[in-house]
Structure 1
Amino acid sequence: MQINVTQAPENRRRQKPKDGEKLGFGNRFSDHMFLMDYSQGTGWRDARIVPYGPLSLAPSAMVLHYGQEIFEGMKAYYARDGAICLFRPDRNAERMNRSAARMCLPEIPVEDQLAALRALVRLDREWIPRGEGASLYIRPTMIGTEEGLGVRPSAEVLFFIITGPVGAYYARGFDPVRILVEERYVRAAKGGVGEAKTGGNYAASLLAAKNAKAQGFDQVLWLDAERRSFVEEVGTMNIFFMLRGELVTPPLAGSILPGVTRDTVLTLAREWKIPVAERPVGIDEVLKGAVDGTLSEAFGSGTAAVISPVGSFSCRGQEVAVNGGKAGDLAARFFREISGIQYGEIEDRHRWIHRVE
């Protein structure tokens, strides 16, 4: 894939974060973005990197009316030896294509996605922060851009990638989060688009998340749409429970996102000889386990936070602590291992790291 590059002139360069500056998450963006267009019958064309700036869309662009949109999230890091690294970007690219198929959008060959990522990160390498736990967040996105009203797949599509420097997803870092179990609203149902990384899933979650935060909680735990009895996932993470000595997580049954970090945790757990089960998990089992101690810890997994320990669950008006409200040893071990691999401090036994030369 040939990529044409137009660099931002010096007088249009954006202010880079200073060394040691405390970074938030998702509120600053780099100098450039990658764009590529698609037309039915022609295919993908005009791969280019241009200065970061507004997109031009018609008011009748189909994405604005019918939500035909998907995205991904990953990070670039400076390893301790100075190399720029991406963590399992091939898995994100594969998931992008699965999401595209579900949302009637065109797929992009994995190698072309990776070439675009590498070219953009290489150009904006000075934006990668070097502080502990900091990284360059990468957001590939695909939208239907055809002008027209009528419920059908868009014949014209835009794929773009933007990046920006980020710190920890939660301002409190690795401190355990408080989670409200959502019993009224649902995020997704089997047969729907819950397993695709599409914006509508997140739009459906906003009201419940807003209500939870107004009550002092950090996240929402979603239950199944049919019975409101089985755990699905947290708003921005897959969820794991250490129940009676076994690491348990809900199965990929069509309504939850198949997380790259989720797969990483499962791979490491099996390597460490930890009993693992991907099975339905009842919320009553979780709450009972928190009370009687058979639930020794719980944590979320995702690109943004990597591993986030859970300090408590609130359900039916009662809040129960997990592990006394403290981060568990297993969550800490996964966090150290995954972060260590990402930053080049621990051997990459699985060849998960892709270096940007």
Structure 2
Amino acid sequence: MMNTVDIDWKNLGFNYIKTDQRYISYWKAGSWDEGTLSEDNQVHISEGSTALHYGQTVFEGMKAYRTKDGSINLFRADQNAERMQRSCRRLMMPTIPTDVFIEAVRKVVKANEKYIPPYGTGGSLYLRPYMIGIGDNIGVKPAEEYLFSIFCMPVGAYFKGGLTPSNFVVSDYDRAAGNGTGAAKVGGNYGGSLLPGAEAHKRNFSDAIYLDPTTHTKIEEVGAANFFGITEDNKFVTPLSPSILPSITKYSLLYLASERLGLDVVEREVFIDRLDEFKEAGACGTAAVISPIGGIQYKEEFHVFYSETETGPVTKKLYDELTGIQYGDIEAPEGWIIKV
């Protein structure tokens, strides 16, 4: 199907756009129904829904890509399914089997195919699977009913300016508790990040950097993305912590840095007072893909990595390799791409 919607593909941002169909499935009496596509983008739930009161809400972010030959790629959708299952278990919610999850994603992409940005525009179809606790509840306990849904919209670059460096500031706030829900993709993690994010923007930074909640000495996350750094001796380093959300993009970059670029890769503690060990740094995630970090403000010190205006060569190679795989221009590792 050719694109038939009137959208300025080259100037897409990261904004909500209502598309034609979304997938909806309900859990009741211990099992999921068959699921259906709906044109209704309004969610109708009980005022007693646990999602509204006790934070029983998890979500995912993923993308579909139009390739040069016109086919459609899903990138590592099985990893999104598995991460959502882990998030659900953390909040005592039922899980969606991987095959059901992937088939639901396929249905949504096919039903909204005309919204997929054309190859070469840099855009993609962003998919938002989510699950919420619903039903007539009031006590602090897991809901007995749940809603699982997937909607989508065309998006451009998450950070304005695409692959150009951004500056970040270290926040005094914690993103998550040390033994909390940091490794799960739950709504509360993001609600708590709005204030530090707004304070960072007020100071003309792209977002806040969060340190580990226990000692406040180690980098954990960059806004809603994972951190990586390239050391002077060409090691690809990412933080290791039980309160970091395990980014599918990050683990893809770890593999590509090792197998395609021949770098040594390591997950370890990244101390905020040792930034000078890195010649390049970046933030990575599904929405952002890779955002090069120009500099980091920590207390009174501002540390610049490769450049505040230019992307470092290793970061650029990683970006080209990853996006080349996603858009079908570079051969993917086995199992990474699912065709719609």
**TM-score normalised by L of structure 1:** 0.91
Partner of 1:336: 320
Which residue, 261, 264, 271 being the options, matches 1:282? Answer: 271
Aligned with 1:300 (options 269, 280, 283): 283
| CA displacement at 1:351 relative to structure 2 | 3.0
Which structure 2 residue ranges, 5 or more long, are not aligned? none
Identity percentage of aligned residues:
40
Query: What is the one-letter code of the residue matched to 1:167?
Result: G
| Structure 1 match to 2:210 | 222
Query: 2:202, 2:238 → 1: CA distance?
Result: 28
Deviations 1:118-151 (A, max 9, x none): 0111111111111521011000000000212111
- Give the drift of 1:21: 4.8
Task: Say which of 169, 172, 180 aligns to 2:161.
Answer: 172
1:1-357 pair list within 5 angstroms: 16-18=5-7, 20-39=9-28, 41-130=29-118, 131-182=120-171, 184-245=172-233, 246-251=235-240, 253-271=241-259, 272-286=261-275, 289=276, 294-325=277-308, 326-356=310-340
Any idea what SS the aligned residue of 1:324 has?
A: coil
Query: SS of the counterpart of 2:193?
Result: helix
Give the SS at the match of 1:350.
coil
Distance 1:259 1:295 in 2: 21
What code does the residue aligned with 1:58 have? S
Distance (Å, rounded) in 2 between the aligned partners of 1:19 and 1:281: 41
Relative to structure 1, is the Cα distance of residues 155 and 20 closer, same or farther in structure 2, using a 3 angstrom cutoff?
A: closer
Q: Deviations over 1:299-331 (max 9, x none)?
A: 111111211100000011232211132311111
Change (3 A) 1:146 1:254: farther
The change in CA–CA distance for 1:236 and 1:319 in structure 2 (over 3 A counts) is: same
Q: CA deviation at 1:186?
A: 0.2
SS in structure 2 at match of 1:323 = coil
Q: Could you tell me whether the CA contact under 8 Å between 1:197 and 1:257 is conserved in 2?
A: yes
Distance 1:20 1:156 in 2: 39
Distance in 1, matches of 2:195 and 2:8, equals 37
1:21 and 1:323 mapped to 2: Cα distance?
28
Closer/same/farther in 2, CA of residues 284 and 17 from structure 1, 3 Å limit: farther
Q: Structure 1: how far apart are the matches of 2:333 and 2:197?
A: 37
Deviations 1:87-117 (A, max 9, x none): 0001000101010101111011100000101
Q: Distance in 2 between matches of 1:63 and 1:24?
A: 28
1:19: how far off?
5.3
Confirm or deny: 8 A CA contact 1:19 1:129 kept in the other structure: no
Q: Is 2:236–2:264's contact at 8 Å kept on the other side of the alignment?
A: yes
Q: 1:260, 1:17 → 2: CA distance?
A: 32
Contact 1:29 1:165 in 2 (8 A): no
User: Which portions of structure 1, spanning 4 or more consecutive aligned residues, are displaced by more than 3 angstroms?
Assistant: none
- Asked whether the 8 Å contact 1:71–1:142 carries over to 2, the reply is yes
Go from structure 1 to structure 2 and tell me whether the alpha carbon gap of 1:229 and 1:199 turns closer, same or farther (over 3 Å shift). Answer: same
Q: CA deviation at 1:275?
A: 1.2
Q: Aligned in 2, Cα 1:21/1:327: closer, same or farther, shift over 3 Å?
A: closer
SS at match of 2:33: strand
Aligned residues: CA RMSD: 1.3
Distance 1:29 1:236 in 2: 23
Partner residue in 2 for 1:9? none
Letter in 2 for 1:323: Y
Q: Structure 1, residues 193-242: CA drift from partner, whole Å, max 9, x if none? A: 00000110001111000000000000111001111101101112110011
